[in-house]
Structure 1
Amino acid sequence: MKRLSGLSLMFAAALCASSAFAADLFIDHVNGYTLDGKGKLQHFEAMLVENGKVVATGSHAALASRAGDARVLDGKGRTLMPGLIDAHGHVMGLGQALRQIDLTPAKSLDAALAIIKKHADAHPESAWLLGRGWNQEIWKLGRFPTAKELDSVVSDRPVWLGRVDGHAGWANSAALKLAGIDKDTPDPSGGRIERDAQGQPTGVLVDAAMKLMAAKVPAPDAQESSRMLDAALAEMARVGMVGVDDAGVTAATVALYKHYADEGKLTARIYAMIGATDADFDLLAKDGPIKGYGNDFLDVRAVKLYSDGALGSRGAAMLAPYSDDPHNHGLLFNTPEQMQAKIGKAIGKGYQVGVHAIGDAANREVLDAYAAVFKQEGGKELRNRIEHAQVVDPEDIPRFVQLGLIASMQPTHATSDMNMAQDRIGKARMRGAYAWRTFLKQGTRIAGGSDFPVESPNPFYGLYSAVTRQDHDGKPPGGWYPQQDMSLPEALRAFTLDAAYASHAETTRGTLEPGKWADFILIDRDIFKDKPARIWSTVVLETWVGGKRVYAKP
């Protein structure tokens, strides 16, 4: 065996071993974990890899004799586990966020304004200042921020900043003027222009109203799009993410992904969900779903639809009014007929459907639409999904089983929303909110994700939130509605095996079983023996995809 130095090993060369148990990479002396196909946790000391796929896992004694001339990665006792899969993220959105103004660190309006001014001063050449991540709930404003407040730091050019959930945007006066938004501009269907007592726009646009501004923002050119993708892939590899379900892509983005796959530049497996059933879908669906493109690095076989907004901006559609805004039910983006037509169109072309639904009214509308489409056209076998399933009427939760739906849920949403969720919907409706245990108990598969860049892409934050239902300071003691928490093996399953199942890939990835891709990570601790409070601070040392190292901690 040709030995290379432990964690400093470079990309494994593809060597064909002469032994009967051909392997080109022998990973030895590891504290290895994987789930099996049934979700049961398994432990191993060594792993054999051939042509990027797992040949076997087991003890050092059992596998050393089978390694032949394979190169050796000495794990030096480090913990090895399957690479994590995010079942709901936005790859280009992450890349864009990494290259623009990031307001997520801001704990107050003043702190946000300071970040914006610093960026503006550093980039005098930028015609527009763009960014995202603000959250008025954390700022304790009791209201949305205003254009005038933005004007106080930048008034010479347009500024447009997305809220942390992506369902509202904050503009300065220059941006409002450029977009032609004034007192006479009507609220678009499915959207809202925040106004003052005189009816003048205050600077925040909610949901569909954001399109009024988006139409004026210059689109990134090809070079910037590549930079955004490079930034996103690097960050995903850094946090141990080996796959993502990209929730809402354009035809141009699919073309970029195919180019990267052709060039061998994708470092994570992307399951792309076409955004809506409009012209881009018609173009992409001409030749049907794309499966396993570029050695299983790209699939385009799903469609992402929207039914409502978000809870933080009170755009999530509720059956009863908001507890803290009794005249507001939120926003449904479609009529029942429109929702059925969109789902039916996608399913009719053989595409899985995932529908964003956060409020209980939105979830019910989507459940009804799926039921109607399945009765008319079939398609239940496509593993259709509800994305978020955040607040569901308890009477509707069993329908996920009846309709064979996957609950694509984001554990960090619960710990981010716990500062306002009960205020929004009241204690009674919390019975069906962020209800992971209720879904698991009835046999529904939960595909774990983050909705990055709405939340951090770090999947260990998701594992931590799923297990503890606490923030990173350990609050509240005992967890927030802890009866809905997950065990660590259940949370791992959500971010591996069941995330793979949600993208029709459970036979090729998600676990380190023989025949599956060797997508794995080495980390700095044994999360199964360490305190749950430390899960979120786990550091990824190396990330490997298809038996090749794509990241090593400097």
Structure 2
Amino acid sequence: MKKLLPLLLIAAITSCKQKEYNADLLVKNGLVYTVNDKFTTADAFVVNAGKIVAVGKADSLEDIYHAKTVIDAQGKPVYPGFIDAHAHFYNYGLNLQTANLVGTQSWEAVLDTVNSFATRNADGWIVGRGWDQNDWKVKNFPEKTLLDSLFPLRPVILTRIDGHAAIVNQAALNIAGVKPGQTIVGGKIEMINGKLTGILVDNAVGIVTRKIPSPTEQMTQDALLGAQNNCFAVGLTTVDDCGLDYQMVNTIDQLQRKGSLKMRIYAMLSDRPENYDYLFKRGAFKSPGLNVRAFKVYADGALGSRGACLLKDYADSAKWRGFLLSDRKHFEEVAQNIYDKGFQMCTHAIGDSANRAILQIYANLLKGKNDRRWRIEHAQIVSPDDVKYFADNNIVPSVQPTHATSDMVWALKRLGDPRIKTAYAYKDLMNTNGWIPLGTDFPVENINPLYTFYAAVVRKDLEGRPANGFQMENALSRVEALKGMTIWAAKSNFEEAEKGSIEVGKYADFVILDQDIMKVKGGELPNVKVLSTYVNGEKVYEKK
């Protein structure tokens, strides 16, 4: 009996050791799309200290790992956390605090919405965003007469859905000092019969927005956290915030270090001297949640507001081709400085003339194959003669599929045949380098990346139009679309070694959906819901 007691004690100690936790999380019984090089699937993976430590079969992994938390996915599909390669995260959050004009069907509906907002928010500037005259029966830009009568003293600015045009009232024009006949490079101050209409396009908008008081610290924090909550609810775990000022780097970093801001952000600083000075002196900034190594430059405006710079006249506006927002020399100098300092250049280019100018400037510096990953944001209309620049110089086309399905109703009127065939050509652009990052451009479009997937694959709007899809020769396959919003989006940010797939060593960012987007019928894709979202293996959203 005395000999038996030590043996029993040893057995008990050994049993206790076997039950010690050696992992934080085990996800099992899922259809796990790893999005690795071979695009294999698994049914389980293990997470420890925020990173994936094993991927494979549940029975094998359970023999090795004893996790503190076990998630039974019950056969549901699991994907890498979705990445939005082009968005305006902070501005979207600010917009949540303003008048929402998205979906308004007339100028009168806009005014009703603004009036209600003004009643609830009695002080200061009235700010709104989201109207689109292309959705109205009368598709002309509105003018400010009714706005002036409703708000004779209180300044109002209402930005178009694309962010490249706005209508303001006379009170706002007075504060900004805008006068009839005034001109600005890269912008337009609209007049009819010698009178200001209140419509400002591209750089002209900035004359007024610079007069709006800066958000308070609380407003800024509320904007970031409000945007985060909505993004997590649609499965986003990383966003590319395109066009921030350097002060936001510290704000975002501080909130992330406190643990309140968990969204990972790839921040592009705006094309401003103070932002170049900041990053050139400091160097690239990288933390687990924040990556700052890129600059966002604007070549032209938007097609919807006729600010896109075209090689030939607009089909619906004779003798008008839009304009570049700066002269070519500016873009050449900026590109040279960014190149010399080793940073990434990401340039908004919509029209075929703007794309040609920026592609040529890129090519003159990149001089062939390279791994700089300089990006053209949108690449919306590209002349067939210029497509070669992407492959020859490894220039990355960064596109937003929902632009195609939002614009298709009126884009033909702007461009005409055959130029429309060179627009929203995502498959052709993907083929140049063999990969393409996808985004939404929210708040211009809806933040839901599943709408991105749907638009890329099915090429229809949420009403299922057109019946046969829009220019289906440029649809992406489901595999390509999923890669575009995971591993390829990560690659466009130089982050493919740390995210974008469910592989050992990468961050445990993943999303569980209620249906499999790789198999569900195309028309059902917009109805797929996010069940839960995880960042670093921590649940940050769960569907109620």
- TM normalised by structure 1 equals 0.92
Which runs of structure 2 are paired with 1:106-505 in the superposition (5 Å)?
106-124=104-122, 126-184=123-181, 186-196=182-192, 198-291=193-286, 293=287, 296-375=288-367, 380-505=370-495
- Separation in structure 1 between the aligned mates of residue 461 and residue 210 of structure 2, nearest angstrom: 37
- Separation in structure 1 between the aligned mates of residue 250 and residue 18 of structure 2, nearest angstrom: 40
Aligned to 2:32: 32
Q: Is the 8 A contact 1:394 1:431 kept in 2?
A: no
Per the TM alignment, residue 268 of structure 1 is displaced from its structure 2 partner at its CA by: 1.5
Q: Is the 8 A contact 2:22 2:67 kept in 1?
A: no
More displaced, 414-423 or 526-535?
A: 526-535
What amino acid maps onto 2:174 in structure 1? Answer: K
Q: Is the 8 A contact 1:277 1:345 kept in 2?
A: no
Provide Cα deviations, 1:316-374, integer angstroms capped at 9, x if missing partner.
00011111111111011222222111011112222111000000000000011112223
More displaced, 333-342 or 310-319?
A: 333-342
Per the TM alignment, residue 267 of structure 1 is displaced from its structure 2 partner at its CA by: 1.9
SS of the counterpart of 1:104?
coil
Per the TM alignment, residue 256 of structure 1 is displaced from its structure 2 partner at its CA by: 0.6
Per the TM alignment, residue 380 of structure 1 is displaced from its structure 2 partner at its CA by: 4.0
Per the TM alignment, residue 81 of structure 1 is displaced from its structure 2 partner at its CA by: 1.1
Per the TM alignment, residue 427 of structure 1 is displaced from its structure 2 partner at its CA by: 1.6
Q: Describe the shift of the 1:474–1:99 C-alpha distance in structure 2 as closer, same or farther (beyond 3 A).
A: same
More displaced, 397-406 or 60-69?
A: 60-69
Per the TM alignment, residue 95 of structure 1 is displaced from its structure 2 partner at its CA by: 0.3
Identity of aligned residues (%): 39
- Separation in structure 2 between the aligned mates of residue 445 and residue 304 of structure 1, nearest angstrom: 21
Supply the RMSD in Å over aligned alpha carbons: 1.8
Which runs of structure 2 are paired with 1:94-109 in the superposition (5 Å)?
94-109=92-107
SS of the counterpart of 2:416?
helix
How many equivalent residue pairs? 528
Picking from 518, 524, 532, the partner of 1:528 is 518
- TM normalised by structure 2 equals 0.94
Per the TM alignment, residue 506 of structure 1 is displaced from its structure 2 partner at its CA by: 0.5
- Separation in structure 1 between the aligned mates of residue 272 and residue 366 of structure 2, nearest angstrom: 18
Q: Is the 8 A contact 1:78 1:525 kept in 2?
A: yes
Aligned to 2:10: none
Picking from 53, 56, 63, the partner of 1:58 is 56
What amino acid maps onto 1:23 in structure 2? Answer: A
Which runs of structure 2 are paired with 1:17-96 in the superposition (5 Å)?
22-36=22-36, 38=37, 40-96=38-94
- Separation in structure 1 between the aligned mates of residue 54 and residue 68 of structure 2, nearest angstrom: 13
Per the TM alignment, residue 439 of structure 1 is displaced from its structure 2 partner at its CA by: 1.6
1:506 maps to 2:496? yes
Aligned to 1:14: none
More displaced, 499-508 or 365-374?
A: 365-374
Which runs of structure 2 are paired with 1:5-20 in the superposition (5 Å)?
none
SS of the counterpart of 2:113?
helix
Per the TM alignment, residue 61 of structure 1 is displaced from its structure 2 partner at its CA by: 2.0
What amino acid maps onto 1:327 in structure 2? Answer: K
Per the TM alignment, residue 553 of structure 1 is displaced from its structure 2 partner at its CA by: 1.8
What amino acid maps onto 2:183 in structure 1? Answer: D
- Separation in structure 2 between the aligned mates of residue 219 and residue 445 of structure 1, nearest angstrom: 39
Structure 2: segments with no counterpart, 5+ residues:
1-16
What amino acid maps onto 1:392 in structure 2? Answer: V
- Separation in structure 1 between the aligned mates of residue 32 and residue 343 of structure 2, nearest angstrom: 36
Provide Cα deviations, 1:387-422, integer angstroms capped at 9, x if missing partner.
000000011112101011111100011011011111
- Separation in structure 2 between the aligned mates of residue 313 and residue 471 of structure 1, nearest angstrom: 21
Q: Is the 8 A contact 1:406 1:444 kept in 2?
A: no
What amino acid maps onto 2:185 in structure 1? Answer: S
What amino acid maps onto 1:189 in structure 2? Answer: V
More displaced, 240-249 or 528-537?
A: 528-537
What amino acid maps onto 2:188 in structure 1? Answer: R
- Separation in structure 2 between the aligned mates of residue 299 and residue 421 of structure 1, nearest angstrom: 35
Q: Is the 8 A contact 2:360 2:389 kept in 1?
A: no
Q: Is the 8 A contact 2:300 2:354 kept in 1?
A: yes
